[in-house]
Amino acid sequence: MHTLSNIHQVAAFTSNGQGGNPAGVLVAATLPDDATMQRLATELGYSETVFAAPADAGGWRVRYFAPDGEVPFCGHATIALGAVLARQEGGGVFALATNHAHITVEGAVDGDTATAALQSPPTASTPAPPALTQAALALFGYRADDLDARIAPALANGGASHLVLALASRERLRAMRYELAAGRDLMRAHGLATIALVHAESAQRFHARNPFASGGVYEDPATGAAAAALAGTLRDIGWPHGGAIDIVQGEDMGTPSLLHVTMSDVAGSSVRVAGAVRWLDAASGSGAALPA
């Protein structure tokens, strides 16, 4: 019987031992049925819960559920899963099969601390349609001159689809507000996991906010899938990333988070998204056996 007591609760992409984005992690001998996974994710209420079971061909079969439905990929839940697997199986690299891709997550545990790094699905980006850009600006009450002209609006994917909007000022990012129902309608109509609002403090340091209305969540404090999508976008436009960027997220929610992304210059290739975690309950660090 799968219950909330079986679910590890882990905050991913913490900053100096604080903040991070909470995720549920259920590692089981077999995946529960869809209705059970959706019920548990909804009851837990985190932006995503990841479900993992040993795959017949080796590695782990994983699926991700938000309170309002299944999502194709979730970065912060993958980081949380990497930490849980490292605690239970020993540190190392774990092969994961999602609904649409084969990826890996590397986990390491040292006493009460843990880190993990995911290798994303392939990345891709295209210019955002002007009508979608205008609709998104209207949603947040932004104007075209609020945008950073160096980073054009883009539809980007690193395992899930995101609209990337770069703002010219940190203040406009801090002022982000929107109506949840309107945001949900817009994101679902265009197949968006989130809208990634970012500000470039420097070439290698970004601030981000990620409305996740499509999953029934107003805002994520750390979003690994959007980080991968942003990195792919920056690479595609020739941004001087120097091989790595740091993304500061969650500050405006009082939940500081830090994501470190490394990438090559190979178009479309996977990127590495890494961060620290903290255990939110005793079970998460216990190394408990797989539930049935």
Instruction: Give the mean pLDDT of 215-241.
Output: 95
Question: Where does the pLDDT of residue 288 fall: very low under 50, low under 70, confident under 90, or very high at 90 and above?
Answer: very low
Residue 9's pLDDT is 96
Question: Where does the pLDDT of residue 6 fall: very low under 50, low under 70, confident under 90, or very high at 90 and above?
Answer: confident
Spot the catalytic one: 43, 48, 89, 251. Answer: 48
What's phi and psi for 32, nearest 5 deg? -65, 170
- The answer to whether residue 1 scores a pLDDT higher than 90 is no
- The answer to whether residue 163 scores a pLDDT higher than 90 is yes
pLDDT per residue as tens digits for the range 170-221 = 999 999 999 999 999 999 999 999 999 999 999 999 999 999 999 889 999 9
Residue 10's pLDDT is 97
Interacting residues of 159 by C-beta distance below 8 A, sequence separation 6+: 72, 73, 75, 98, 100, 101, 103, 120, 121, 225, 228, 229
Q: Reduced to 3 states, what is the DSSP secondary structure of residue 212?
A: strand
Question: Where does the pLDDT of residue 291 fall: very low under 50, low under 70, confident under 90, or very high at 90 and above?
Answer: very low
| 48 catalytic per annotation | yes
Residue 2's pLDDT is 78
What is the topology classification, in CATH, of domain 124-275? Diaminopimelate Epimerase; Chain A, domain 1 (3.10.310)
Given a contact cutoff of 8 angstroms between Cβ atoms, the answer to whether 167 and 173 are in contact is yes
Domains 4-116 and 124-275 in one fold:
yes
- The answer to whether residue 264 scores a pLDDT higher than 70 is yes
Give the C-alpha separation, 76 to 266, whole Å: 24
Q: Reduced to 3 states, what is the DSSP secondary structure of residue 20?
A: coil
**By C-alpha distance, which of 122, 198, 134, 143 is closest to 166?**
198
Domain ranges of the chain: 4-116, 124-275
pLDDT per residue as tens digits for the range 77-116 = 999 999 999 999 999 999 999 999 999 999 999 888 899 9
Q: How far is CA 266 from CA 162, 198, 239, 263, 271, in A?
A: 21, 23, 13, 8, 10
- The answer to whether residue 51 scores a pLDDT higher than 50 is yes
Question: Where does the pLDDT of residue 284 fall: very low under 50, low under 70, confident under 90, or very high at 90 and above?
Answer: low
Pairing of strands 244-249, 205-212: parallel
- The answer to whether residue 289 scores a pLDDT higher than 70 is no
Residue 112's pLDDT is 83
Residue 4's pLDDT is 80
Question: Where does the pLDDT of residue 282 fall: very low under 50, low under 70, confident under 90, or very high at 90 and above?
Answer: low
- The answer to whether residue 60 scores a pLDDT higher than 90 is yes
Q: CATH says 4-116 is which class?
A: alpha beta
**By C-alpha distance, which of 76, 48, 65 is closest to 257?**
76
Instruction: Give the mean pLDDT of 242-250.
Output: 97
